Structure 1
């Protein structure tokens, strides 16, 4: 489940978080300082971490520490003084959509790579089992087992062909 951490010292941060949670449909927690933000990041994972420009600009090393502890969370730095809840919600939606697209592309690429390796392995298994079937002086038991392996490899190759 997606969740968001807002690190800002602006007045009304809790109201902003409640409005964002309502608009975005995800839990939004607030931290009023870099130190509190780091403590929250150590306790749990977030999908997105939004840091107020005021906090990041006043303590660049502290901001780097926040990004380092954010883990897999999407980092977003925003000026809360000039950005309303609507803009923040729009930015978060855009970032989450982009992350979703990236994850989908990565999963498809991984699936293609696995399928390609699996096809190569099955082709090799089929080829070697068929070559072994042509060996002279195979015992009837070994011949039966090799035929089964060749049939299974052939079936798997057909299934992989239909999956692509």
Structure 2
């Protein structure tokens, strides 16, 4: 796994836990030990997962709202570190990273399908127009090879869009 994780916690020993999680998950784990440091870190860096100590969030709901707003696309986790040990925190982070990866892949597929759908009609129009131009008896001999090449390119693009859409559509 790879990723960038922020843990906002005032709990003693969190740096050691973060180092263990970093090694176990192959991620960069940063610890912010104050509310202010947590917000500052979120403004500086984009994170994949943001973990907030439950006591900090419940003690200042406005701050917690600001954290979740600044977390952007990060997977949010709010845990009671008093009853959740480092092993559970590590499991929760691994699960959040897996969910984030799945969400990213789904978004990529949806974007690819949208782009393919937007391009299908113009590419088909380009293909038809260039084929019609080739059939015109008044087409000049110097223009004919260029039009044939254009037909080949448009056909190739259309086939690729069709194949990509079929492949993505089955998984989306």
Whether TM-score is above 0.5 comes out as yes
Structure 2 unaligned residues grouped into runs of 5+: 167-172
CA RMSD of aligned residues (A): 2.2
Q: Distance in 1 between matches of 2:122 and 2:89?
A: 49
- How many matched pairs? 164
Q: Tell me, what secondary structure is at the counterpart of 2:143?
A: helix
Structure 1 unaligned residues grouped into runs of 5+: none
Preserved contact between residue 33 and residue 55 of structure 1 (Cα < 8 Å): no
Deviation at 1:144, TM superposition (A): 3.8
Deviation at 1:95, TM superposition (A): 1.0
TM-score by length of structure 2 reads 0.82
Cα 1:11–1:118 shift into 2, 3 Å:
same
Q: Distance in 1 between matches of 2:116 and 2:8?
A: 43
Please name the residue that 2:122 is paired with.
Answer: 121
Q: Distance in 1 between matches of 2:25 and 2:152?
A: 53
Q: Distance in 2 between matches of 1:35 and 1:56?
A: 13
Equivalent runs, 1:5-154 vs 2, <5 Å: 5-154=6-155
Q: Distance in 2 between matches of 1:144 and 1:28?
A: 58
TM-score by length of structure 1 reads 0.86
Q: Distance in 2 between matches of 1:122 and 1:3?
A: 40
Q: Distance in 2 between matches of 1:132 and 1:147?
A: 10
Preserved contact between residue 5 and residue 31 of structure 1 (Cα < 8 Å): yes
Kindly name which structure, 1 or 2, has the bigger radius of gyration based on alpha carbons: 1
